[in-house]
Amino acid sequence: MSWSQLAGSVAAGVAVTAIAATCRALWSRRRVPRALHHRVSRRGYLATVLRTSRDHDVAGLDAFVPNLQPSGGSGVLHDIQAEWERINGALGVRLVTREHQDCLRAGAELLSRGIEVRVAAAAADSDDLSYHVFSGRLHHTVLNHRDGDRDRPNRLDGMSPAKVFQTHFEDVWARSAPLEAVLADHLLRSLRRCGDLAEIADRLRDLRTRYRLDPVAEEAVVRHFAFRHSAPVVFVTGLPGAGKSLLRRRLAAKLTAMRFQVDELTDYVYAYHDFMHRVMRLDGNRGTGFTAEAGGAFRVSSEQDLTPALTALAQRVWRNQGGTPVTLVEFARSDVVEALNTFGAAVLSSARVIHVRAPAEVRSARLESRAQPPRLEVVEPSINVIVSDDHRLPSAVAESIYASDNFGRLRAHEGVVGRVHAIDNEVDDPGHARLDEALTGFIEEVVRPYRALSA
């Protein structure tokens, strides 16, 4: 072969390679990738998350990480957790994972650092796609498609992509349960004899070992278990004007700050529903005994007229049984014992009652000073009626139906004996310091016995 032939062959080979590369480049520019396609090592992906977490422009983080891993001996994971703890001190960190032992163990590590972790419902249970939405002066979204043992991550900068993932996160977050509640539920379902204190103590120790709970995480789980086991429903009773609604709202705020999910229920909305049926003559029998009063209020001829509303409230409470929220139930009746019996023995057997008391003159003054009418909103094609906790109560009703209650019988009622807590609210304290102190004492009374079991 001559030199000219050799040169021609080499040139032809180079030309073919160049043409093929050009075609591939043109094709790749026109072809839309079907997925995150650039594969990197796990360490490379985690390094990207760590680098973004260290960005001084980042002040908040919402992350959906269904394949969350405990730090173990990984220095990178430990550093990521430390950076998230720092971010949590700014705008906060929220993380959603799935119900898998490694995920729960990793979540417990974050819980110990003060980070709020929730566990996704089954509908959101996915282990192949995760994302981290970093917010602050600038916005960054790090997403990753986990393909077997390979990661296919990408980083998107700017507000627009962050909004898309943030919307999904808010939906998943709202449908997920706090990690503490999930672990408490595991503990509750593992009991063979629900009231056996020795077994509860053993299960608490097993849970601590299995998920490597430090004292901070363990205390959070014990709190949730205490309410799930002995106070899943808290009744707030008392005569009108005693301060039930204020106490219910303050208790809900305290529990929410401890990362409980809380449902606040009252029979007034159901009573008002019956009243509207009566006023608009929608049903010949519904709302019997209701009469309209000024300011959007109503009066009833006797307490028996409110029985359908209480029954509807009881049905709503029954639907919460077995779920993670703590249910706060407010109502006013002169015969509290008879009203409680409406909820049935299954609810009462593990419920608590907070009975709010105030002198008659104080209650009367409060009722006179409050008179917030219902608010009407037109949301086509609907009309919404929003009632207030501080609704007007006609004085004739307060004097004829709610002149007194049977607290003495309530305290001795076999369905809740030993679980009735009286709180005196005779002074209007603008800062609610006395009321908050009493509620802190109530929470401590519920939790203390279980804390002792876990020691």
Pairwise CA distance, residues 409 & 387, whole Å: 31
Q: What confidence tens digit (pLDDT) does each residue in 385-444 have?
A: 998 888 888 777 777 788 788 888 999 999 999 999 999 999 888 899 999 999 999 999
| pLDDT value for 203 | 92
For residues 22-45, give the mean pLDDT: 61
Pairwise CA distance, residues 179 & 123, whole Å: 17
Provide the terminal-to-terminal Cα distance of the chain, rounded to the nearest Å: 90
Whether the CB-CB separation of 58 and 52 falls below 8 Å is answered with yes
Rounded to the nearest integer, the mean pLDDT of the chain is 88
Amino acid letter, 32 = V
Domain ranges of the chain: 42-175, 179-230+429-455, 231-424
Task: For Cα atoms 397, 400, 402, give the angle at the middle one, nearest 5 degrees.
Answer: 75
Q: What confidence tens digit (pLDDT) does each residue in 379-392 have?
A: 899 999 998 888 88
Peptide bond into 381 cis (omega under 30): yes
| pLDDT value for 309 | 94
For residues 190-197, give the mean pLDDT: 85
For residues 85-93, give the mean pLDDT: 93
**CATH architecture label of 42-175:** 2-Layer Sandwich (3.30)
| pLDDT value for 15 | 55
**Given this chain, do its domains 42-175 and 231-424 carry the same CATH topology?**
no
Q: What confidence tens digit (pLDDT) does each residue in 279-300 have?
A: 888 877 788 888 888 888 888 8
Report the largest interatomic distance among the alpha carbons of the chain, rounded to a whole angstrom. Answer: 121
Entry pTM: 0.86
* Class at the top of the CATH hierarchy for domain 231-424: alpha beta
| pLDDT value for 287 | 82
Q: What confidence tens digit (pLDDT) does each residue in 327-373 have?
A: 999 999 989 999 999 999 999 999 999 999 999 899 888 888 878 88
Whether the CB-CB separation of 252 and 328 falls below 8 Å is answered with yes
